[in-house]
Amino acid sequence: MLPYPLLLIYRNFKRFKSTFFINLIGLSTGLAGALLVYLWISDERSFDRYHALDGRLYQVMENRRTAAGIATQTGTVPLLAEALRREMPEIEFVATTTPVPFFPAFTLAAGGQHLTAVAKYADPAFFQLFSYPLLVGTPATVLRDKHAIVLSEALAIKLFRSPQNSLGKAVEWQMADRKQTCLVAGVFAGVPRNSSEQFGCVLPFASFKDQMQMSETIKWDDDGPFNTYLALKEGADPAQFQAKLAGLLKTKSAQAQARGRTLFVRPFSAGYLHGTYENGVATGGRIAYVRLFALIAGLILVIASINFMNLFTAKASRRVKEVGIRKALGASRAALVGQYLTESVVMALLALVVAVGLVQLVLPQFSALTGKPLALRWEPQLVGASLALALGTGLLAGSYPAFYLSGFQPAAVLKGKLPTRAGDVWTRQGLVVLQFTLSVLFIVAVVVVNAQLAFVQRQPLGYDKAHVLRFDTGGKAARQQAAFLAEVKQLPGVVQASSVLGGFLGGRYVAEMSWRVKRLPVATMLVNYDLVETMGLHLVAGRSFAPQFRADSAAIIVNQALVAGLGMPDPVGQRLDGARIVGVVRDFHYESLHEKIKPLLLRLDPQINTVLVKLQPNAEQATIARLQQLYAAYNPGFTLDYTFLDADYQAQYVAERRVAVLARYFAGLAILISALGLLGLAAFTAERRRKEIGIRKALGASELSIVWLLTSSLTWLVVIAIALALPLSYLLMQRWLEGFAYRVAWQWWYFAAAGMGALLIAWLTVSVQAWRAARRNPVLSLRAE
| Distances 216 to 88, 123, 320 between C-alpha atoms, Å | 20, 14, 85
How far is C-alpha 466 from the geometric centre of its chain's CA atoms?
Answer: 26
For 60, list phi and psi in degrees, rounded to 5.
-85, 130
Q: Which is nearer to another protein, 391 or 414 (CB)?
A: 414
Which range touches another protein (CB under 8 A), out of 408-416, 471-479, 516-524, 542-550? 408-416
Q: Which is nearer to another protein, 343 or 530 (CB)?
A: 343
CA-closest candidate to residue 486, choices 688, 381, 494 = 494
Question: Within 407-421, where are the H helices?
Answer: 410-413
Q: Which is nearer to another protein, 368 or 412 (CB)?
A: 412
CB of 404 to another protein, least distance (A): 15
Contact 158, 115 (CB under 8 A): yes
CB of 687 to another protein, least distance (A): 17
CB of 18 to another protein, least distance (A): 17
Give the C-alpha separation, 422 to 266, whole Å.
Answer: 55
CB of 414 to another protein, least distance (A): 6
Which range touches another protein (CB under 8 A), out of 11-19, 43-51, 423-431, 460-468? 11-19
Phi-psi region of 499 (alpha: psi -120 to 50; beta: other; left: phi over 0): beta
CB of 417 to another protein, least distance (A): 12
**Burial class of 713 by CB neighbour count within 10 A (0 to 12, 13 to 18, 19+):** middle
CB of 14 to another protein, least distance (A): 8
| Distances 315 to 28, 174, 410 between C-alpha atoms, Å | 20, 75, 17
Q: Which is nearer to another protein, 361 or 412 (CB)?
A: 412
CB of 368 to another protein, least distance (A): 46
Q: Which is nearer to another protein, 49 or 326 (CB)?
A: 326
Q: Which is nearer to another protein, 325 or 724 (CB)?
A: 325
Which residues is 522 bridged to in the sheet? Answer: 511
Q: Which is nearer to another protein, 321 or 772 (CB)?
A: 321
Contact 612, 645 (CB under 8 A): yes
CB of 338 to another protein, least distance (A): 12
Task: Decide: is 403 part of the binding site for another protein (CB under 8 A).
Answer: no
Q: Which is nearer to another protein, 12 or 367 (CB)?
A: 12
DSSP state of 269: G
CB of 328 to another protein, least distance (A): 5
Task: Decide: is 15 part of the binding site for another protein (CB under 8 A).
Answer: yes
Give the C-alpha separation, 379 to 718, whole Å.
Answer: 42
Binding mask 575-614 for another protein (x = CB under 8 A): ----------------------------------------
How far is C-alpha 439 from the geometric centre of its chain's CA atoms?
Answer: 23
Which residues is 613 bridged to in the sheet? Answer: 469, 497
CA-closest candidate to residue 210, choices 182, 186, 230, 185 = 182
Which range touches another protein (CB under 8 A), out of 7-15, 256-264, 382-390, 620-628? 7-15
Residues 315-344 that bind another protein (CB under 8 A): 321-322, 324-333, 335
Task: Decide: is 375 part of the binding site for another protein (CB under 8 A).
Answer: no
Residues 611-670 that bind another protein (CB under 8 A): none
**DSSP-assigned letters across all residues of 10-47:** HHHHHHTHHHHHHHHHHHHHHHHHHHHHHHHHHHHHHT
Instruction: Report CA torsion sign: 117, 649, 750, 758.
Output: negative
Give the C-alpha separation, 453 to 744, whole Å.
Answer: 9
Of 17, 377, 415, 550, the one binding another protein (CB under 8 A) is: 415
Give the C-alpha separation, 529 to 524, whole Å.
Answer: 16
CB of 347 to another protein, least distance (A): 16
Binding-site size for another protein (CB under 8 A) equals 23
| Residue ranges that bind another protein, judged by CB under 8 A | 8, 11-12, 15, 321-322, 324-333, 335, 409-412, 414-415
